[in-house]
Structure 1
């Protein structure tokens, strides 16, 4: 038998390499989905845990399911341009499409039953790039890791008989994740405001602002309301939708505003631990003013089709080393795919 020539061997090697590519892709998809390592935490498991906590509500987000769309613009002060070369921080006006929501996966939950609220925004720069951010009305995150967040969802699932979380499971969780104790202390004394327009919304996670010279600045940010804080009162608990009703009434009287306050990290501040609030004496910059002028129901509004992925960032902003960011991005994508698929099937 004749030995294969050099050209024949090269051809066979190329064919073998080509055949290997789809096998590698299949293996990669199985790994990402958790099929090859079932003990590994995946975005599917995380979204499933959120769905178990909030119930299955086809066509809605798996978390922060109840909300409304908001529309307005951001007027830059120009002051943050020293920290970031992102176009929206140059003096000028940038259109914004956003969303107010309450935490949890139940779109029918009464507004007063959920203390944590959120503001999500998509900034549409003139150069075509976008900045998307999801912020929460709490000072820090309950847990440091993605696994901790998953464990929290599992530990606080309502018991089938009592309808409440099992105290023993919660206690075991706290022993395993003691970093949650400050959050529990905050939640115990926190009184929600009477309106979305009175809430301060925080990025929680840290990011990097990149300036014109390429230097990186570790930052967090907050949307600080112009309206003064007022606690929710007993009369609000008589209206399951008091937040959206209040917002409509206030916008009918005129636009509502927040200042985008950027906090610059100190030398000792870390970007990978969202459970720790940075000291109040850190440098802050007023980057500009967010003005919200109108609202629409979410299911018929522009915000319904927006995935407020925190890693959709323009040039001039990058992710920090916080592990929660990539997990949020992946879980948001899973949730977005599931609900839009369900919405399409329902049409």
Structure 2
């Protein structure tokens, strides 16, 4: 017999943690752009909320707290050199420091607690310019306006009796926001992998490639795995994703193709909740190669703020309001966690 599809309540409960990044972006956007009362909604207060929900874990990110550092390089094939003057797209190799992670503020959460995986990358060009990007293993974001983000914050508020979001409140939120339809359609068929290595990661936000002659083209990007998907069914242990990654790397480097998708003139470039049609022009720009993984406490990624607005000449942000919001929220979290590490070191130095 075939397995019946999950109910809407089951889906919403399972994906409740997806509200975490939505909450973070929502309030920071509202504050930075003045759409809501800054005395009610600020990035600092939202980070406070994430900290309260996930617990205070000094020195860790307030979202995507559980992760592992990776490093390697990007081997460009030169196919995008005519579309962007960024040196990262010229033929050759660019070093990369990255981080695989899970949504949520608890660095000790079991890997099966949330189905979304993320990949953040920092490309460092020979001229010192950097391209930083944070991607997720879903093709579209739930909503695209600060007002909707704020409402999702209310819907995702933990119930004091259970410590979890109220499924009825979340269901009401999705019912009142038809723009979430594309996301919910994906949720119903999503099958998270038991391996970071076999996931596809999407930028979700749109950016512009800028050519040497000044020509600008809107794009979204994704990295497509060379490794075959592995079902999460039967995966054992709280940390199976990191264990699987380390085991795979003992057999050799892992690879993803960097695929750039170009928008048509009428495609939305300022709303991450709206997917683009499948027939848009795509270019395979080269290969992401990761050959080393290190626990984040010891790895290079630990002290990197993967702010997606840090871009080299040749890539520019779009008018998507989530981008400046992410930048502001990441900065708040970064200052907190690095300050906590400094305070810990100072305390240790002054011990008798």
- For Structure 1 versus Structure 2, the TM-score category normalised by the shorter chain is 0.7 to 0.9
The superposition leaves residues 296-325 of structure 1 with CA deviations (integer Å, 9 ceiling, x where unpaired) of 000111101000000000000000000000
1:193–1:38 distance in 2 versus 1, CA, 3 Å: same
Distance 1:298 1:324 in 2: 26
Distance 2:93 2:294 in 1: 22
The superposition leaves residues 93-130 of structure 1 with CA deviations (integer Å, 9 ceiling, x where unpaired) of 00000000011111111111110110000001001100
The superposition leaves residues 238-272 of structure 1 with CA deviations (integer Å, 9 ceiling, x where unpaired) of 31100000000000110000010000001221111
The superposition leaves residues 57-80 of structure 1 with CA deviations (integer Å, 9 ceiling, x where unpaired) of 221111110000001000001001
Distance 2:223 2:146 in 1: 25
Q: How do 1:219-258 and structure 2 match up within 5 A? A: 219-234=219-234, 236=235, 238-258=236-256
Aligned to 1:274: 272
The answer to whether the 8 A contact 1:33-1:44 is kept is no
Question: Unpaired runs of 5+ in structure 2?
Answer: 1-30, 346-352
The superposition leaves residues 151-188 of structure 1 with CA deviations (integer Å, 9 ceiling, x where unpaired) of 32332233121233223422342244332233233223
Distance 1:185 1:280 in 2: 16
The answer to whether the 8 A contact 2:32-2:325 is kept is no
Aligned residue among 259, 262, 265 for 1:261: 259
The answer to whether the 8 A contact 1:124-1:130 is kept is yes
The answer to whether the 8 A contact 1:71-1:293 is kept is yes
Distance 2:173 2:66 in 1: 27
Aligned to 2:181: 181
| Count of equivalent residues | 314
Aligned to 1:134: 134
Distance 1:54 1:142 in 2: 21
Distance 1:291 1:298 in 2: 19
Q: What SS does the aligned partner of 2:127 have?
A: coil
Q: CA RMSD in A?
A: 1.9
**Is 1:190 the equivalent of 2:190?**
yes
**Is 1:153 the equivalent of 2:153?**
yes
Q: How do 1:1-347 and structure 2 match up within 5 A? A: 37-39=37-39, 41-234=41-234, 236=235, 238-347=236-345
The answer to whether the 8 A contact 2:72-2:289 is kept is yes
The answer to whether the 8 A contact 2:140-2:182 is kept is no
- Quote how far apart the aligned CAs of 1:231 are: 1.8
Distance 2:168 2:233 in 1: 33
Q: What SS does the aligned partner of 1:104 have?
A: coil
Question: Unpaired runs of 5+ in structure 1?
Answer: 1-30
Of the structure 1 ranges 298-307 and 41-50, higher mean CA displacement relative to structure 2 is found in 41-50
Kindly indicate which of the two structures has a greater share of residues assigned to helix: 1
Distance 2:51 2:180 in 1: 22
Distance 1:183 1:143 in 2: 8
Q: What SS does the aligned partner of 2:297 have?
A: helix
- Quote how far apart the aligned CAs of 1:285 are: 0.4
Say which one has the larger Rg. Answer: 1
Q: What SS does the aligned partner of 1:79 have?
A: coil
Distance 1:270 1:227 in 2: 31
The answer to whether the 8 A contact 1:86-1:314 is kept is yes
Distance 1:306 1:223 in 2: 20
